[in-house]
Amino acid sequence: MNQPLFSIITITLNCADDAEQTARSVLGQDFSDVEYFVKDGCSTDGTPERLRALGVRVIVAPDSGIYEAMNQGIAHARGRYICFMNAGDRFAGPDALSAVAAALARYGEPDFLYGDVRSFGHHPYLGRGRAGEGRLIIYPDRLNRFWLYRKMICHQSWFVRREIYAAQPFATDYRILADYAYLLDMILRRRVRYGHLPKEIAHFAGDGISSQRSPRRDAERARALATVYAPWERQAYEMIFRGMRWLNRTLIYPMIPLLPERLRARLSGL
């Protein structure tokens, strides 16, 4: 059987409505060289049945949490590149995968390609964007150490070679930020070859546990940073970051809603 270019994987647990919305987004793509399946953690609300009614392959198996479920999905994937589009998230349009495929060819099939996202989560200072349209986030082309200290790329816009995931799956002792730890490791430790597609690829539902401050989230972030940044580097970046927070809250955030969307999006991604 020919290997597809993409494996799109959705992780579900008792989220039938959101899962169906995501599935329809994937099934509506105009690109055919793709396998799509759902890894379900033994839902009891009819999620697997509703997805199978759409023709979606559903793998039902117990797991200890989302990152173990994602690792289980990786083990079943056949595609050359894997993207996790989880329940409630969706592609920005029917041409998203076509655009990613073209970008992969243009970049010479890198290990990791990421696109831009539109977040519908609530930002503490910017809200959800104008008239509920969400906030477009345009990521930079180059991911330097200071940017990665401060920011995360939503994994809904990640396309990672299956071999990268197979060689090192997600660390399941993280409960909230294993994807952030994985991004840091890919870019700063393994130094994978990557590229940025400057196009809105995914819509991110937001407001999940990884978007909310908590003692556990803060502890996991500190742990992830400690694996790739020296203590002096973390201290220096944190001092600079504190100054940036003050500048953002007092000057930048009040101005952003007045700007054109593309400029707002670039500022959000800086």
The tens digit of pLDDT for each residue in 14-73 reads: 999 999 999 999 999 999 999 999 999 999 999 999 999 999 999 999 999 999 999 999
Least confident of 48-57, 85-94, 130-139, 141-150: 130-139
Using CB atoms within 10 A of its CB, is residue 98 exposed (0-12), middle (13-18) or buried (19+)? middle
Tokens of 97: 């995968």
DSSP per position, the chain: -PPPSEEEEEEESS-HHHHHHHHHHHHT-S--SEEEEEEE---SSSHHHHHHHTT-EEEE---SSHHHHHHHHHHH--SSEEEE--TT-EESSTTHHHHHHHHHHHTTS-SEEEEEEEE-S-BTTTBT-GGG--EEEPPPSS--HHHHHH----GGGEEEEHHHHHHS---TT-SS-HHHHHHHIIIIIS---EEEEEEEEEEE---SGGGS--HHHHHHHHHHHHTTS-HHHHHHHHHHHHHHHHHIIIIIHHHGGGS-HHHHHHHHH-
Q: Which residues contact 18 (CB under 8 A, 6 or more apart)?
A: 87, 88, 205
* pLDDT tens-digit readout, 161-184: 999 999 999 999 999 999 999 999
Q: What is the pLDDT of residue 212?
A: 61
Q: What is the pLDDT of residue 258?
A: 61
* Banded model confidence at residue 259, pLDDT cuts 50, 70, 90: low
* Banded model confidence at residue 134, pLDDT cuts 50, 70, 90: confident
* Banded model confidence at residue 244, pLDDT cuts 50, 70, 90: confident
- For the cut 80, the answer to whether the pLDDT of residue 125 exceeds it is no
Query: pTM for this one?
Result: 0.89
* Banded model confidence at residue 242, pLDDT cuts 50, 70, 90: confident
- For the cut 90, the answer to whether the pLDDT of residue 225 exceeds it is yes
In 61-95, which positions are buried (b, 16+ CB within 10 angstroms) versus exposed (e)? eebebbbbbbbbbbeebebbbbbbbbbbbbbbbee
- For the cut 60, the answer to whether the pLDDT of residue 209 exceeds it is no
Class of domain 6-269: alpha beta
d(CA 135, CA 119): 5
d(CA 204, CA 237): 28
Higher pLDDT: 85 or 249? It is: 85
